[in-house]
Structure 1
Amino acid sequence: MNQNNRIFDDLGRLMNEAAGLADGVRREVETVVKSQAQRLVVDMELVKREEFDALRELVQVQGDEIAALRAELAALKTEPPKAS
């Protein structure tokens, strides 16, 4: 009976070690994947969301100004010339 307990103890210890090893491998793979993803993002020269939103707002304001200037220019073109 004592021999059976020892076999089960050894088997349990081996399973615990295998689980620990698998967890270590999982963490190592996660680290490598995160590192590769960060390198990919840096290589792609992506912009941050805040920078993108600021630029989009600036473009919108400039688009509105351009539309107003075009309307003003069209109005000036349609005015009859003033006599001096």
Structure 2
Amino acid sequence: MQSENRLFDDLVKMMNGVAGTMAGVGREAESSMRERMREWVGGMDFVGRDEFEAVKAMAAAARDENEALKARIATLEAKSAAKPRAAKANPGAPS
């Protein structure tokens, strides 16, 4: 009976060793894969979050400036269109 227990004890020890080894292999494989992915992604021309936010802010400022310029052009065009009508109404008035 004692020999069977010893056999099972040895088998359990061996299985624990295999499980520990497999866990170590899994961790090593995961670490290696992460490093390879980092290198692969690092080699691509991805934009960082801070650069993306800076360009996004600049684009928003450019849109705001564009809208302001459109409004200014519309105002100037309205004034320009009103001037000839006023000149036709008062032909003797200085321009």
TM-score, normalised with respect to structure 2: 0.75
Q: Residue 29 of structure 2 aligns with which residue?
A: 29
SS in 2 for 1:33: helix
Identity of aligned residues (%): 36
Residue 78 of structure 1, CA deviation: 3.0
Task: Write the letter of the residue equivalent to 2:62.
Answer: Q
What's the CA shift for 1:53?
A: 1.5
Which consecutive aligned stretches of 4+ in structure 1 deviate over 6 angstroms post-superposition? Answer: none
Aligned-pair CA distance for 1:45:
2.1
What are the equivalent positions in structure 2 for 1:40-55 lying under 5 Å apart?
Answer: 40-55=40-55
Which consecutive unaligned segments of at least 5 residues does structure 1 have?
Answer: none
Map 1:4-83; keep pairs closer than 5 Å. Answer: 4-80=4-80, 81=83, 83=95
**Counterpart code for 1:25:** V
State the AA in 1 paired with 2:59: V
Q: CA deviation at 1:58?
A: 1.6
Give ranges in structure 2 of 5+ residues lacking alignment.
85-94
TM-score relative to the length of structure 1: 0.83
Post-superposition shift, 1:44?
2.0
Distance 2:7 2:45 in 1: 57
Structure with greater contact order relative to length (CA < 8 Å, sep ≥ 6) = 2
| Distance (whole Å) between structure 2 residues aligned to residue 42 and residue 11 of structure 1 | 46
Calculate the aligned-residue CA RMSD, in Å. Answer: 1.7
